[in-house]
Amino acid sequence: MTEIKTRGLNSNQIKLIAIIAMTIDHVTWLLFPGCQKIWWVILLHVIGRLTAPIMWFFIAEGFHYTRDVKKYIGRLFVFAVISHFAYNFAGGIPFIPNGFFNMTSVMWSLAWAVVLMVIFTTDRLPQWAKIVLVILICFITFPSDWSTVAAMCPVYLYLNRDSFKKQSLTMLIWVAIYAAVYFIFMDKVYGVVQMCALLSLLVLKNYNGERGSWKGMKWFFYIYYPAHLFVIGFLRVMMGNGSIFP
């Protein structure tokens, strides 16, 4: 994505789309828990599928533009820890993981995605060490929302920044992997719904390479993501769906 377009959507506008889609999706899970097969509930979740790929895309962009990768990684891990408690509280999930699926937020995988980008691009590590570290990080990120896919896909989005076609193919492959696992092991209908994450490409295709005039969007998202999940968690408790401490 090295070209700057005079028209289209800047990163602030696309991130706002992601925030709206995410909020719709999470509120829908609150009001209609479980994989309910109601057409308009499914439609709301389809809208929500826009969010994750947009987040992956801008994690890769963030790695490209950051002036201090160590601070970038540190900020993401702090964000991931806070978001862990917010995500689990919102979903009534135990704070201490007791399973292998959806035990923490996607932010855990995204933080490790940047670590993977460093591993993939450094010349200081031998190939065997890179392979071992990649396997280890895949194992570490497996229990998060969007699992290992959210750690690996941003890496290849970054490596293919020069071609949106290659980025689109990257997105197709990783989303299909996640959808297949969801289809086979969890829920067939919602496995198909996961494929709708590819609709995000229609939005990302219009990215003009610019940030936008408001410089506060980065921090707004860092605050909004866990904050809205904490609100959803309190609403969950008020609705009588579980206790304050999952």
Alpha-carbon distance of 172 to 150, in angstroms, equals 13
CA distances from 153 to 33, 58, 92, 169, 246 (A): 28, 12, 28, 11, 31
- Any domain includes 4: no
- Any domain includes 161: yes
pLDDT single digits (tens) 137-146: 999 999 999 9
pLDDT single digits (tens) 99-154: 788 899 999 999 999 999 999 999 999 999 999 999 999 999 999 999 999 999 99
How confident is the prediction along the chain (246 residues), in pLDDT tens digits per residue? Answer: 444 455 899 999 999 999 999 999 999 999 999 889 999 999 999 999 999 999 999 999 999 999 999 999 999 999 999 999 999 999 999 998 887 888 999 999 999 999 999 999 999 999 999 999 999 999 999 999 999 999 999 999 999 999 999 999 999 999 999 999 999 999 999 999 999 999 999 999 999 999 888 888 889 999 999 999 999 999 999 988 765 655
- Any domain includes 244: no
DSSP assignment string, 178-230: HHHHHHHHT-HHHHHHHGGGGGHHHHHTTB-S---S-TTHHHHHHHHHHHHHH
Q: Which domain holds residue 103?
A: 11-238
- Any domain includes 127: yes
- Any domain includes 6: no
Looking at residue 1, what is its pLDDT? 47
Task: Give strand pairing partners of 9.
Answer: 207
Count how many domains the chain has. 1
CA distances from 231 to 34, 44, 78, 168 (A): 19, 19, 20, 34
The answer for 110, left when phi > 0, alpha when psi is -120 to 50, beta otherwise, is alpha
- Any domain includes 162: yes
- Any domain includes 102: yes
Q: What is the mean pLDDT of the chain?
A: 93
- Any domain includes 181: yes
